[in-house]
Structure 1
Amino acid sequence: MFCRDWLYAYDRAHGSTDINKILGLKHLIKAEAEEQRSWAVSEFNSKFDHTYQQMQKKLKQSIALCEAIIDFSEDGSMDDLEIWKQVIDHLLDLQTAINTQLSQSKQRKKISMGIKVSLYGSPNVGKSTLLN
């Protein structure tokens, strides 16, 4: 109930809530370690929004360049080869950004999942001390 009311109030104050904010809040609630809390807060604060906006911008630029080639290449006013090079550069940048996000998401998943530790041994040999 609290979460829904809070998100409603946030929407009213700031316009909208995206999926990153919702997932960030979920991860913040479930966080057990400080590193998990840190990732959840950065996720909630839309640390990744800028990256996604840049990816979207590159994709839109590539689409616009392709449409320009389709619409205006026959009249000879454009250098098609140069524009195709720009499209390829945009798409290679986009591929790099996606690969970076995928590798970082694997790291974030490891952090959010945590690790399970099992200590086995005789009584009174310092297992608790080692764990702490």
Structure 2
Amino acid sequence: MTDQHTVLFVCVHNAGRSQMAAGWLRHLAGDRVEVLSAGSAPKDSINPVAVEAMAEVGIDIAGEQPKLLSDSAVQQSDVVVTMGCGDACPFYPGTRYEDWALDDPAGQGIEAVRPIRDEIKARVEALIASL
């Protein structure tokens, strides 16, 4: 990667999947990628089980805050990765979109969230390789 890319992760609540994906991308790509995340209907705080699952692999997302999806976040992104936000995500020509079908960690215990976390890591690694 020579140019810095901007990647936006979007899910409904911006409290689980998108936050874990953002954490992985920051961890694996460092400052080579600008990382954004947002939700179409953000929660008040991040899912504590998602925080716990990421902490198990040495990534701290506890200080993150769910954010409302905005047109400007989509417009400034080179890649928009959606995770179950459906039609709530605005579409702009020239922007690369990926839809990741992932289980929602909301209401799940740590045993159910770990495989989601690991699947997100694999997808983020593939995303990095494609940039």
TM over 0.5, yes or no? Answer: no
TM-score, normalization by structure 1: 0.26
Higher helix share: 1
Higher RCO (C-alpha 8 Å, min separation 6) = 2
Greater Rg, structure 1 or structure 2? 1
More strand by share: 2
